[in-house]
Amino acid sequence: MSRRTGCSHDGIVGATLVVARAGCACFLGIGTGQARPLRSVPCTSRLPGMMARTRMFGVGMALSLAVLVCSSQHAVGAEEIPRADAEVTKTLPKEDKEMAKTEFEKVVARRADRSPIEGTIVHYEAFPSELIRVRPVNVWLPEGYDPASSDRYPVIYMHDGQMMFDHDTSPYVGMDVFWDVDKAITNLVRNGEIRPAIVVAVWMASWAKGARGAEYMPQKVVTDEVWQLLREQELGFAVEQGGQKLSADNYLKFIVHELKPFIDETYRTESDRGNTIVMGSSMGGLISAYAVAEYPGVFGGAACLSTDWRHGDGAVVRWLGRNLPSAGTHRIYFDHGTETYDAHYGPFQQQMDDVMRRRGYTSGEDWITLRFEGADHSPRAWRERLHIPLKFLLGKP
C-alpha cells in the first residue's frame, strides 16, 4: 500500500510524495507526475534550502527524484516528524532565498547489508548553510522516540557523520569504518546504563586535500608560528599562510547558529548546555575540545577519542590551557591507544591532563583520560570502546 500526496508550492508544481511498503521504489515527479493523488495537503513544513539529488527519466516524467524505501509501518504527512522505527521517505518543497528548491529528507530503515538500524535515521542529503559548504546530516532518533510524547532527549553532535552509521547513504558502504552508534546507544539504554539521546551526525563536505584539516583544526590556535610548524609537519592537510583555508570557526558557527536551532525546533530535545554534547575522533577530537572552549554556554560535554594533538606540536593543548572553561559546568572525556598514530599521543595527552588539573577538573568525576593498550587509530577501535564515553557523558545519576 502506498500514499501519494499531490501539492503545489512556491513555484514547484505537481510534486508527488510517495510513501511505500518494503521493496518499493519511490519517485517524486515534478511537473508531469502521472500518479493519481489519493489525498492532497498543503506542503507547510520548513527546512531552509534543502537540496535534492535528482536524475532524469525519459518516460513519464520530465524531472524525477528516485528514492529507494525499505519498509513503511507508519505513513506520515508532510508536516509530521517520524516516530522512531517508522521507515518512510518524505520529500517536501520550499522556496529558498534565491530560487525554489526541493527539500530532501530520507528516513533510513536498514543498513547496507539489510540488517535493521536500531531506532531511526533521518538523512538530510544537503543541509543548507551560509557559513560552510552544504553537506549531508544524519539525525538518529532513539528507540521509542515519539514526537507526540512529552519526553525530551539530550543531543550528541558527532563529526565525521558519514562514518557513524552503517547504511547505504554513506560512501563507505562495505568498509569496516562505521562506529555503529545506533547499536551502542540502544544496548546501553536497554541495559539501563544511560539515558536515550538523539545523535546529529555532521558529514565532511569534501575529502579533497586540506578539507578535513581546514574544518577541524582549531582556528584561533593557528598563529604564524603554528602555521610554520604545520607546513613542516605535513600531517595530511594543506595549509596556507594567512589562514585562507581554515574554516573551523565557521564550522562551529554552523553547528551552533544554523544546525542546532533547526534540531531543537524540529525534534524533542533538551536544548540546554547540560544536555548538549560534542564528540569526535582524531582531528574530530580537536574540534570537539575547541567547541567547548569556544562555546562553553552551548556544549556541556565533549568526548575526544584518539585526539591528534600532534598538529602544531601540541599547540592546541597550550591554547586550551588558556581558554578551556574552568571546572564546574562541563564533563570532558579523552582517550588514546598505543598503536599506529595513537602511539604518538601519550606525551601530549599527559600535557592535556595537566591542563585539566590546573583548570580544576577532577579525574573520574568531571574529566576522564583512558589509555587502551594495543588499540590503533581506526573506526573499529573507536567502535569497540564507544560505550565508555557514552556512559561517562550520558550515565544516569
- Closest CA relative to residue 331, chosen from 354, 361, 353: 361
pLDDT of 393: 98
Measured over the CA atoms of residue 378, residue 253, residue 350 and residue 312, the dihedral's sign is positive
Measured over the CA atoms of residue 189, residue 195, residue 196 and residue 198, the dihedral's sign is negative
Length of the chain: 397
Classify residue 124: in a domain, yes or no.
Answer: yes
If you average pLDDT over residues 217-244, what whole number do you get? 73
pLDDT of 197: 99
CA distance 202 to 157: 7
Classify residue 289: in a domain, yes or no.
Answer: yes
The answer, yes or no, to whether residue 159 has pLDDT greater than 60, is: yes
Classify residue 147: in a domain, yes or no.
Answer: yes
In a 13 Å sphere around the CA of 339, the CA atoms on its Cβ side amount to 9
Higher pLDDT, 275 or 116: 275
- Listed in sequence order, the residues at least 6 apart from 124 whose beta carbon sits closer than 8 Å to its beta carbon are 47, 50, 104, 105, 136, 137, 138, 139
pLDDT of 162: 92
Classify residue 71: in a domain, yes or no.
Answer: no
The whole domain housing 203 covers 111-397
If you average pLDDT over residues 77-83, what whole number do you get? 36
Choice among 102-116, 156-170, 240-254, 382-396 with the minimum mean pLDDT: 102-116
Q: How confident is the model at residue 169 (pLDDT cuts 50, 70, 90)?
A: low
Q: How confident is the model at residue 18 (pLDDT cuts 50, 70, 90)?
A: very low
Higher pLDDT, 99 or 353: 353
Instruction: Please say whether the beta carbons of 30 and 12 come within 8 A.
Output: yes
pLDDT of 19: 25
Classify residue 54: in a domain, yes or no.
Answer: no
Cell of 199: 545523535
Q: How confident is the model at residue 49 (pLDDT cuts 50, 70, 90)?
A: very low
User: Looking at the 3D structure of the chain, how many domains does it have?
Assistant: 1
The answer, yes or no, to whether residue 23 has pLDDT greater than 70, is: no
If you average pLDDT over residues 293-301, what whole number do you get? 99
Classify residue 25: in a domain, yes or no.
Answer: no
Q: How confident is the model at residue 81 (pLDDT cuts 50, 70, 90)?
A: very low
Classify residue 93: in a domain, yes or no.
Answer: no
Classify residue 40: in a domain, yes or no.
Answer: no
- Which DSSP state fits 13? E
pLDDT of 327: 98
Q: How confident is the model at residue 53 (pLDDT cuts 50, 70, 90)?
A: very low
If you average pLDDT over residues 310-338, what whole number do you get? 97
CATH code for the domain in which residue 145 is found: 3.40.50.1820
Measured over the CA atoms of residue 171, residue 383, residue 295 and residue 287, the dihedral's sign is negative
If you average pLDDT over residues 67-76, what whole number do you get? 28
CA distance 25 to 22: 9
Q: How confident is the model at residue 232 (pLDDT cuts 50, 70, 90)?
A: confident
Higher pLDDT, 43 or 384: 384
The answer, yes or no, to whether residue 187 has pLDDT greater than 70, is: yes
Other beta carbons within 10 angstroms of residue 313's beta carbon come to 16
Q: Indicate the pTM of the whole model.
A: 0.75
- Listed in sequence order, the residues at least 6 apart from 81 whose beta carbon sits closer than 8 Å to its beta carbon are 147, 266, 267
Task: State the chain's mean pLDDT as an integer.
Answer: 75
At 196-225, the pLDDT tens digits run: 999 999 998 876 666 788 899 999 999 888
The answer, yes or no, to whether residue 150 has pLDDT greater than 70, is: yes
Q: Report which listed range, 16-30, 39-53, 204-218, is most confident.
A: 204-218
Give me Rg for the CA atoms of the chain: 22
